Amino acid sequence: MSPVTPPVMLRLHGYAVSNYFNIAHAALLESGVRFEIVECRASQTPEFLRLSPMGKIPVLETPQGWIAETVAILGYIEDCFPCLLPTDPFTRARQRQLINVVQVYVELPMRSLYPGVFMGATNSSAAIETARQTLDRSTIALRSLAQPQPYLAGEQAGHADLFAFYCLDLAERVSREVYGRSLLHELGLSEWAQLMAQRNSSQIVLAAFAEAFGAYLMEKQATYPFRAGESIRG
Ligand SMILES: N[C@@H](CCC(=O)N[C@@H](CS)C(=O)NCC(=O)O)C(=O)O
């Protein structure tokens, strides 16, 4: 008798241009659980807002319902299929601390400059200055918080690594374009980024990103000179 394949219980909705989608995709790959990807874009339609109340991607479809917000998605995957967090409460909290700093004080200010870099628009000098001020503070914070050994929270890759890796990939591109600054170099994370890029999950996610991002930039008529893997070289 041939083995019965269990039905797919999880579907990740979104697409590979999104760094948040890529974090969730990587966590699913790392967990080893079977899942499907349903390609879709963020939307403010009433139908999509019922699934993802802020209209953002990614959103995870589970047997019990829908989960939006990447931190919540990672938490759910980890609770069901533990593999990326240690059991020690202190180390778990330190990973969350790092995730918050990356998300709020690096990702968001750099995202505010996406229009001028990736979307064929222009960033105002006020927006560039505001983002720089936050970035100056967060890079100081991250220099003490993110010290690879060889991963950000120790010997095993964890949520903080996935979060930082995919957020810094785009943040690095923006900071190089706008400020001529390499965040990975400033943070001493170039070797860590190369280590992360070698993971099986990263190779799958980064290949999907390269294809989707090239198409996205063409659609937006952005002049950004995209080269896959460039940001990781530090
Ligand atoms: N806090 C959200 C952020 C997700 C997010 O910003 N997703 C972007 C794509 S990378 C999006 O959906 N943007 C569309 C929008 O903001 O309307 C999370 O953690 O999942």
For residue 144, what is the domain's CATH number? 1.20.1050.10
Assigned domain for 155 exists? yes
| Ligand 1 proximity of 52 Cβ (cutoff 6 Å) | no
| Ligand 1 proximity of 56 Cβ (cutoff 6 Å) | yes
23 burial level (CB within 10 Å; 0-12, 13-18, 19+): buried
How many domains are contained in the chain? 2
Q: Select the more confidently predicted residue: 4 or 122.
A: 122
Q: What is the CATH number of the domain that holds 64?
A: 3.40.30.10
* Residue 3 CA to ligand 1 centre (angstroms): 39
Q: Phi and psi of 144, rounded to 5°?
A: -90, -30
Assigned domain for 182 exists? yes
- 59-62: strand order across its sheet: 35-39, 10-14, 59-62, 65-68
Nearest by Cα to 173 from 229, 98, 101, 105: 229
Q: Tell me which residue has its CA closest to atom 11 in ligand 1.
A: 56
* Residue 14 CA to ligand 1 centre (angstroms): 10
**With bands split at pLDDT 50, 70 and 90, how would you rate the model's confidence at 1?**
low
Percentage of residues in the chain with pLDDT exceeding 90? 92
> 76 and 109 share a domain?
no
Q: Which two tokens stand for residue 14?
A: 């979104």
Where on the phi/psi map is residue 137: left (φ > 0), alpha (ψ -120 to 50), or beta? alpha
> 65 and 98 share a domain?
no
* Residue 56 CA to ligand 1 centre (angstroms): 4
Pocket test for ligand 1, best of 19, 23, 57, 104 (most atoms within 8 A of CB): 57
| Ligand 1 proximity of 42 Cβ (cutoff 6 Å) | yes
Q: Tell me which residue has its CA closest to atom 12 in ligand 1.
A: 56
| Ligand 1 proximity of 18 Cβ (cutoff 6 Å) | yes
Task: Judge whether 166 and 74 are in contact, CB under 8 Å.
Answer: no
Q: Phi and psi of 233, rounded to 5°?
A: -70, -15
Separation of alpha carbons 106 and 138, rounded Å: 6
| pLDDT (0 to 100) of residue 153 | 83
The answer, yes or no, to whether residue 233 has pLDDT greater than 70, is no
For 187-219, write each residue's pLDDT tens digit.
999 999 999 999 999 999 999 999 999 999 999
Question: Chain-wide mean pLDDT for the chain?
Answer: 95
Separation of alpha carbons 140 and 133, rounded Å: 11
Assigned domain for 226 exists? no
Separation of alpha carbons 151 and 140, rounded Å: 19
Domain boundary among 20, 55, 80: 80
> 146 and 173 share a domain?
yes
* Residue 62, helix vs strand vs coil: strand
Task: Judge whether 10 and 62 are in contact, CB under 8 Å.
Answer: yes
| Ligand 1 proximity of 154 Cβ (cutoff 6 Å) | no
* Residue 60 CA to ligand 1 centre (angstroms): 13
The answer, yes or no, to whether residue 234 has pLDDT greater than 60, is no
- Atom of ligand 1 at shortest distance to CA of 73? 20
Separation of alpha carbons 22 and 34, rounded Å: 16
| pLDDT (0 to 100) of residue 2 | 61
Question: Lowest mean pLDDT: which of 4-8, 43-47, 62-66, 102-106?
Answer: 4-8
For 93-147, write each residue's pLDDT tens digit.
999 999 999 999 999 999 999 999 999 999 999 999 999 999 999 999 999 999 9
- Atom of ligand 1 at shortest distance to CA of 58? 20
DSSP state of 2: P
> 69 and 93 share a domain?
no
Assigned domain for 223 exists? no
The parent domain of residue 17 ranges over 10-80
